[in-house]
Chains A and B, each alone.
Chain A
Amino acid sequence: NAGVMQNPRHLVRRRGQEARLRCSPMKGHSHVYWYRQLPEEGLKFMVYLQKENIIDESGMPKERFSAEFPKEGPSILRIQQVVRGDSAAYFCASSPSGKTYEQYFGPGTRLTVT
Chain B
Amino acid sequence: GENVEQHPSTLSVQEGDSAVIKCTYSDSASNYFPWYKQELGKRPQLIIDIRSNVGEKKDQRIAVTLNKTAKHFSLHITETQPEDSAVYFCAASRESGGSYIPTFGRGTSLIVHP
Contacts and interface: CB of A to CB of B under 8 A. Distances in A.
- Which of the four size classes fits the interface of chain B? 20 to 34
Interface of B: 1, 6, 32, 34, 36, 42-46, 49, 89, 93, 96-107
B97 A56 contact: yes
Contacts, number: 63
B102 to A, nearest CB: 6
Given A31-B99, A56-B101, 11 more contacts: A40-B107, A41-B106, A42-B6, A43-B89, A56-B96, A58-B96, A91-B43, A100-B100, A101-B93, A105-B45, A108-B43
A43 to B, nearest CB: 5
The B interface, classified by DSSP as helix, strand, loop or mixed, is strand
A103 interface: yes
Interface in A88-114: 91, 95, 100-108
Interface residues of A, number: 25
A101 B49 CA distance: 9
Interface of A: 4, 31, 33, 40-45, 48, 50, 55-56, 58, 91, 95, 100-108
